Structure 1
C-alpha cells in the first residue's frame, strides 16, 4: 500500500513500460500527487480558515456537519496501513519515506507507543467499522522484533474490529530474514509476506544497492514458503545493464518457488533519489517493452492472472489489501508519513502524518500526528477514482463509481465515451474497464478524467 507520490500523469508521453509505478503501495499515495492546478482544495479540517500544518490538522466533528456536495450510499470497505520508517540502508532508487537506522538501532518501544497514540486519536473517524485487511509497510518492518510485532498486532486488535479472516501483510527484506523470528511473526497473526527480492542475480542486487545477496534472496523465499502459505515476491526489471535473458532468468527463478503472487515492476528513476541525480545506464524502451511482453506471456503460461498493472496472482491469491486501494476503498494510515483516505456520507477526506520519525513520535504522543488533512473536491473525485480503478485489468463494475464517489455516473459519461472512442476503454455499460491499448497507455487514459 503510503511519502509523496509521483507527478500527475500527462497525456501522450507515457509508453507501455512507463505505465508501472514502483512497488505495491504506490497506489495509496498517487492521488495525493495530482497537479496543483487540479488538486483538491486543501483544508485543515478543524480550521474554518483553511490553515494547514500541525495545529488543527485533526478533523473536528463540526466539520462533518457542514453539508457536502456528494452523497455516498454507504461506507466503502476499510483497510489499515501501518508504516515502519526505518531500513538498514536507503536504496538509490527508493523515494519512499524510509530512514537509515542509526548505530544504536531503532526506538522500537517508543515508536509502538506512538502508533497506539496515533490510532487512538483516529478512532472517532472509523468508529464501528470493520477492518478487512492490514498492511505493515516501510522501510523494513522485518526489523521489528518478534515481541514488537506481537505487541503491535495485539494493540491493533484491542482497538479495532479486525475481521477474523483479515489479510495481514508484512513487508520483509531478505537481508533481515531469521527463520525463528518469522515463525513468531506468523504466530502473532501475520498471514502474508511481501518480500522485496528485486533480483536473484548478485550483479543487479549490487547495482540496486540492496543489502542482501543472491543466496540470501533464495534462502528468504525458502523460509517464507515453509512458514507462510501466502506470500508475494517483488521483482524489478529494466535494471542497469540487464538483458532480456537476464530478465527471463530472474522470473524463472521466482517461478521455481511456486509463489502465490508476483509483483513485477519496471525500474523508474524517481525524483529526490540517488538514481535520479546520478542516472545509471538503463535498457532502452524497446528492450524494456520486450521484457514486459515476455513477462506477461510467461506468467500467464504459469497460471498467473495479470490482474493489475504490476500484479500477477494465482487463482484466489490477489492482494485483498491492494485491491481495496484500486477499487477506491477506504484506508486509515498510521505511522510516520502514512497517508489515508476516509469516506463520510457527504465528503471524502485525505490525511498525511508527519514524515520525520522523531517529529512523528513527538506529535503522536502529544495527541495529533496528522500534519495535513484535506477534503477532496467533488470535481477531483472522478480522476482520483479512475487513477486507481483503471489499473485493474478487468476494471470495476460501473456501479462502483457512484458507490465510492457519491457522484452520479452522468458526470463521467462524456469522458467515458471519449475514452471508448479513442480505443482506450471497453464499450460495456456494466463495467469500466480499459482495453489492451488503454493498459499500454494508462496515463493517457487516466488523464482524460482530470477536471476541466
Structure 2
C-alpha cells in the first residue's frame, strides 16, 4: 500500500574559502563579503514555495551543507533556523546538522551554532597527515584538525568526522593512523570513504599518484576491520556509528524518503498524495537565485525510473530491503520488477525472502553492476 514517506530539509550554502581539487559540489570561492542576509532572505522564500508541495508534513531532519556553511556568521545561522521554525512543523528533537571545516574561523563559532539549535556537527577532516592535506589542497594542518575536534567534543557529544582513503601517495599505514586518530577522539559517527576523481573537478586533469586497486582493497578491508573492532557499526557503505547515532538525515535519503532542497543547485524529492514523485533542482547561478529565480526545473520521476532510484539508495544500507517499503515509497507492486529481481538473484547479488530482499557480499562489492540491472 502506498503512503507518503518522512520528509527532510536540505539547505545549500555555496561559499568556500578555496575550491578543493576533488570537489564536485556546487560552490563559489569567497573573495569578498558574503551576501548572507540577502541569501538567507531568498532561502526562506525558496522554502515557502516548496512547502506547498509537502502536504503539511513534519520536517524530521535538517542538514545545512555546502560549500562551507560554517563560514556564515552566528547571527545568520540563528536567524535562518528561527525563521524556518516559524514556517515549518519541527520539534526540539529534530536532528539539525551543519557541515564545517577545521579552521580557526569556523570552530570558534561552534558554541553559538549549538545555541541556535544545531545538535549535530559534521567536520571535514579528510586526513590528519599534514603533507597529504597539502596534496589534496586543504587549507589547514593536522594540529588545526585536532584542535577543532577537541573544541567540538567539549560542546556537543554528537559529531561526525569525514575521513578519506585512497589519497595521492597514501600508504596503508597512513590510512590506519588516520582512523586511530579519529577513534581516539570518540566521535559518535565516522564517514569513511574513498577519494574518487570526478570528471568536472580540477584533479581530473591533474596527474595524481593514487594507490592501485590492490592497495585500495587492503585499505578498505583493514580499515573496516579496525573501525568495527573500535566499537563502530557499519550501517551503510561508507558510514559507521556508535549505537543509536546513525545520521537520521542520510538514513532518510537511503530509505527513499522525501526531502526539500533549498539554495543554489539544491535537489529535492517530494512525493504527492496521488503517488507522483516530483524531482526539483534549484538554480545554480547565485545572481539569478538572489533575484528570485529559484527553480531550475521540476519533473515527475517516471514509473520505469523509480525501481533504480529506490535501490540506488536502499542497497547501500546493511539491512534487509523490505518489499512492503518498496511498494509504499515507489507506489509500484514488486511484481513489476520480478524479472529484474530474478536476474539479480542469478548473478548472486541478492537473496529473495518472503518479506524482503538482502544484498549479498558480492552484491555490495559489485553494487554498480547490481544497480545496472534496474536501469530501464
TM-score (norm 1): 0.81
Query: What's the counterpart of residue 342 of structure 2?
Result: 417
SS in 1 for 2:359: coil
TM-align CA RMSD: 1.2
Instruction: Verify the 8 A CA contact 1:142 1:176 in the aligned structure 2.
Output: no
Query: What's the counterpart of residue 29 of structure 1?
Result: none
Counterpart CA distance in 2 for 1:415 and 1:279 is 40
Counterpart CA distance in 2 for 1:450 and 1:444 is 10
Query: Does residue 1:255 correspond to 2:183, yes or no?
Result: yes
Query: Does residue 1:450 correspond to 2:368, yes or no?
Result: no
Counterpart CA distance in 2 for 1:239 and 1:206 is 11
CA offsets, 1:197-217, max 9 Å, x none?
000010111011001111110
Query: What's the counterpart of residue 74 of structure 1?
Result: 3
Counterpart CA distance in 2 for 1:266 and 1:180 is 29
Query: What's the counterpart of residue 403 of structure 1?
Result: 328
Matches within 5 A, 1:7-406: 73-102=2-31, 104-178=32-106, 180-344=108-272, 345-363=274-292, 368-406=293-331
CA offsets, 1:44-90, max 9 Å, x none?
xxxxxxxxxxxxxxxxxxxxxxxxxxxx7221000000000000000
Instruction: Verify the 8 A CA contact 1:177 1:220 in the aligned structure 2.
Output: no
Q: Which is worse superposed, 413-422 or 380-389? A: 413-422
Counterpart CA distance in 1 for 2:131 and 2:331 is 50
Higher relative contact order (CA 8 A, sep 6+): 1
Counterpart CA distance in 2 for 1:246 and 1:261 is 20
Instruction: Verify the 8 A CA contact 2:345 2:351 in the aligned structure 1.
Output: yes
Alignment counterpart, residue 432 of structure 1, candidates 357, 363, 366:
357
1:122 Cα deviation (Å)? 1.6
After superposition, the Cα gap between the structure-2 partners of 1:99 and 1:213, relative to the gap in structure 1 and judged at 3 Å, is same
Instruction: Verify the 8 A CA contact 2:166 2:216 in the aligned structure 1.
Output: yes
SS in 1 for 2:217: helix
Q: Which is worse superposed, 151-160 or 124-133? A: 124-133
CA offsets, 1:363-416, max 9 Å, x none?
2xxxx5111111111111011101111011114222110000001010122222
Counterpart CA distance in 1 for 2:225 and 2:356 is 25
1:234 Cα deviation (Å)? 0.2
CA offsets, 1:175-213, max 9 Å, x none?
255555210100110000010000001011101100111
SS in 2 for 1:122: helix
Counterpart CA distance in 1 for 2:105 and 2:129 is 18
Counterpart CA distance in 2 for 1:179 and 1:273 is 27
Counterpart CA distance in 1 for 2:82 and 2:57 is 18
Query: What's the counterpart of residue 52 of structure 1?
Result: none
Counterpart CA distance in 2 for 1:436 and 1:289 is 14
Structure 1 stretches of 4+ with a deviation exceeding 4 A read 176-180
SS in 2 for 1:162: coil
Counterpart CA distance in 2 for 1:107 and 1:433 is 48
Instruction: Verify the 8 A CA contact 1:308 1:393 in the aligned structure 2.
Output: yes
CA offsets, 1:394-451, max 9 Å, x none?
1422211000000101012222222122211123222222111111111011111111
Structure 1, unpaired ranges of 5+: 1-71
TM-score (norm 2): 0.97
SS in 1 for 2:115: helix
Query: What's the counterpart of residue 45 of structure 1?
Result: none
Aligned residue-pair number: 375
After superposition, the Cα gap between the structure-2 partners of 1:179 and 1:207, relative to the gap in structure 1 and judged at 3 Å, is closer
